[in-house]
Amino acid sequence: MTTSLLWIPVTLAAAAAQTGRNATQRRLTETIGTVGATQVRFLYGFPFALLALAVMNLVTGEVVPGPNATFLTYALTGAVTQILATALMLAAMRERAFSVVTAYTKTEPVQVALFGLVLLGDHLTPAMGLAIAVATSGVLLMSVKPGTSLTSSGVKPIFFGLASGAFFALAAIGFRGAILSLDEGSPLIRASTTLVWGLGLQTTILLIWLGLFDRKALMASFKAWRPSLGAGFLGALASQFWFIGFALTTAANVRTLALVEVLMAQAVSHRFLAQATTRRELAGMLLILAGVGLLLLAQR
């Protein structure tokens, strides 16, 4: 496999690690609440990101690149918009419209492609655009249940879901912009450096926020440190692979291929929760696979 295609296995590894992290966080919500479970990915993931960067520095001998003003702007943008995206997603889910929220937040690849083109000048071919559209339509088909529609849950879930997808897209663009703005280093060391800064900023922001407005959730996350470590490790591992992917190719490529996470989550639900797969969901899966196949063919 050529270096130019390394983003494919890297992205697949990121999606697998994120599926595991989501499952771990879902269990944590039962003991420490939604906010507490959300912040463990940052608080407990940060030390693992620092350790990974230190090991890479020792093994490769590369100097860790120092930040510049452009890097800090992009990194802060990525950190803040990812937190806002998560908050908006949770707010939408509180409206009891999980499937519809999933559909709207998974419009992220489309928004990533647009933001990447405008803000970073990332190239988007017609074949890539078609792949993004096909894969995203598969997610929409899987998410909307029979007897419902994308508008059946009211205006709030629509607004929150689309806004969440937009902020997730801006986060991806922010972190890719930060990686590209570093003056030196291999893609691996630049990605790892950006991850440390991103998680560090997010940890600081959330510690201050929870310390001021939700100390109960903060203390609960400290008490549940053992399962939180698992979520933090998987979160840092997933982010490590996401960022390496962003260093190797456009954010649109990474986030479109990342839709295989939907298939992985479906497999987990089928295996451990004994949930049957409907024809609609099967059709959606086939569209996602078709979109991913088109994306990979577009790289040739």
Digit-coded pLDDT (tens) for 3-18: 568 999 999 999 888 8
Residue 221 parent element (H or E)? helix 215-223
Question: What is the number of domains present in the chain?
Answer: 1
Digit-coded pLDDT (tens) for 173-208: 999 999 999 988 999 999 999 999 999 999 999 899
Contact 112, 255 (CB under 8 A): yes
What is the pLDDT, as a whole number, of residue 102?
A: 65
Half-sphere exposure of 201 (CA within 13 A, CB side): 19
Q: Residue 195's closest CA among 25, 22, 50?
A: 50
Domain that includes residue 70, residue range:
3-298
Rg from Cα positions in the chain = 19
What is the pLDDT, as a whole number, of residue 231?
A: 86
What is the pLDDT, as a whole number, of residue 95?
A: 58
Phi-psi region for residue 61, left (φ > 0), alpha (ψ -120 to 50) or beta? left
Which regions in the chain score pLDDT beneath 50? 1
Q: What token pair was written down for 218?
A: 């903060």
| pTM for this model (two decimals) | 0.86
Q: Which long-range contacts (CB under 8 A, 24 or more apart) does 70-75 make?
A: 70/177, 70/181, 71/178, 71/181, 71/182, 71/194, 71/197, 72/197, 74/174, 74/175, 74/177, 74/178, 74/181, 75/174, 75/175, 75/178, 75/194, 75/197, 75/198, 75/201
Q: Residue 239's closest CA among 23, 50, 26?
A: 50
What is the pLDDT, as a whole number, of residue 146?
A: 64
- CA–CA distances in Å: residue 285 to residues 77, 130, 155, 267, 289: 33, 16, 27, 11, 6
Half-sphere exposure of 295 (CA within 13 A, CB side): 30
Sign of CA dihedral 201, 204, 206, 209: negative
